[in-house]
A = this chain, B = another copy of it.
């Protein structure tokens, strides 16, 4: 398993915060808050795309949307800036103990990740296997290679071999910037 320096010092010390009923999305949001507070990076989760059909303007200061539908996201959930570079990623939790099924990410989201890479940005997926409480970062170039090989899913063993485990702690909760530093900035 490839670990960036000090990302995980000891498995025993790796306290399981994400088992406290917290989701990966929640963990990433407070991690991003932390990065912004400390002025490390400016990365946000995008709002969920919603198609508004009807709005009640009776209270003009606080209109109520009373008919709307969820829409498919055309891009990934997270993007922002780190050390001047554009950063873009999608994050997913997996219940399976064995593998991450690629159908969990829409085709246009995958294309978006590869497009970002083409434009010299940093793009990857973050996948958490909740049964093992292990969170991995996998670069989108490696992801593309698996897809081109015909893979329909990526096993936890492949994440172990080709991805990077992301340290989980108190602050920051999921320190993926440490992995970015290691992979893309030689840190």
- By a beta-carbon cutoff of 8 Å, the part of chain A in contact with chain B is 36, 39, 41-42, 44, 46-50, 52, 62-71, 73-75, 79-88, 112, 115-116, 118-121
Q: Is the CB of B52 within 8 A of A63?
A: no
Q: Is the CB of B69 within 8 A of A68?
A: no
Interface centre among A49, A65, A73, A87 (most CB of B within 10 A): A65
Q: How many copies does the complex hold?
A: 2
Choice from B36, B65, B73, B75 contacting A65 with Cβ under 8 Å: B65
Q: Is the CB of A41 within 8 A of B79?
A: no
Interface centre among A79, A82, A88 (most CB of B within 10 A): A79
Q: Is the CB of B84 within 8 A of A121?
A: yes
Q: Is the CB of B119 within 8 A of A84?
A: yes
Q: Is the CB of B74 within 8 A of A69?
A: no
